[in-house]
Amino acid sequence: MNQGQHFLVTGGAGFLGSHLCKRLLDLGHEVLCIDNYYTGMKANILELMDNPYFEIMRHDITFPLYVETDNIFNLACPASPIHYQFDPVQTTKTSVHGAINMLGLAKRVKAKIFQASTSEVYGDPKIHPQEESYWGNVNPIGLRACYDEGKRCAETLFFDYHRQHGLKIKVARIFNTYGPNMAMNDGRVVSNFIVQALKNEPITLYGDGSQTRSFCYVDDLIDAFVKTMDSPDEFIGPVNLGNPKEFSIKNLAEIIKDMTGSSSKIKYNPLPENDPCQRKPDISLAKRKLKWTPSTPLEVGLKPTIEYFEKILSKGIKNNHQ
């Protein structure tokens, strides 16, 4: 990736977006951060604001955007069930209308565009691990459909714009990721468990805790984003990005409890509707095409993540969307 390019990052004040903005600046690029602060936080990008190559625009991508750029990372969309189910119609609009608007912008300025898709396009998978050729098992009218089907439709739009208009696209399916800048109130399992453990509150597990997830540290994922965008134009994806090492939810709770020295008890709640029983990426394609594999063990990545939440809690900062 040549230095001095201009990047537009939608959702740039969010968890992944803020890390990506910082990485792009470190690589010598100019960055325009777009966010409506529904789940993104200004605190995530505070350290970047003095950089003359960094610019922020408050904007909702469900409305058209008229700017100039060389590359677009489309990350804008609430990604946790608590947030995307709060306003499901707007979630679908963000995925679908947002994709149409960003693809239209890319077409107009001839930019390369990256879509942050999700492992949720696989739904509650019938095959394990999930590879990119799997079409998924999604409930189109369930509570999670606003996100699952919204992202699936966005992928459709990206591939149709590529076929119909010759647009340079990259589609990545992101699996569970964790690290500093996660929101404290987003209902994701890593942040939930860490905050509950640090407060010595009951650690809430849904179901019996045997369901599995794979956890990728954010720095590893951002490496993959950069490598994906920098890959040859003929490689468009979709490509799975995540850590294939699998942990049960109960095992994760025990690791976090041990690392925080917490006195929390484990509490079991009913399993939510359409909650996937297994989630593990097959990253053979990413290894082959991007020469990428995650390198951060769970305990190593959890250390700075726990320190981040300790800092948030000690300062009494309201780490939530604005």
Which positions are annotated as active-site residues? 147
| Cα end-to-end distance, the chain, whole Å | 34
Are the C-beta atoms of 177 and 242 separated by less than 8 Å? yes
Other beta carbons less than 10 A from residue 60's beta carbon: 19
Angle 321-299-208 from CA coordinates, rounded to 5°: 75
- Inter-CA distances, 263 with 7, 197, 203, 269, 281, Å: 45, 7, 10, 19, 33
Question: What are the tokens at 257?
Answer: 């409890």
- Amino acid letter at 18? S
- Inter-CA distances, 210 with 41, 57, 248, 249, 250, Å: 33, 43, 5, 6, 6
- Amino acid letter at 310? E
Q: Nearest CA to 17 among 95, 75, 101?
A: 75
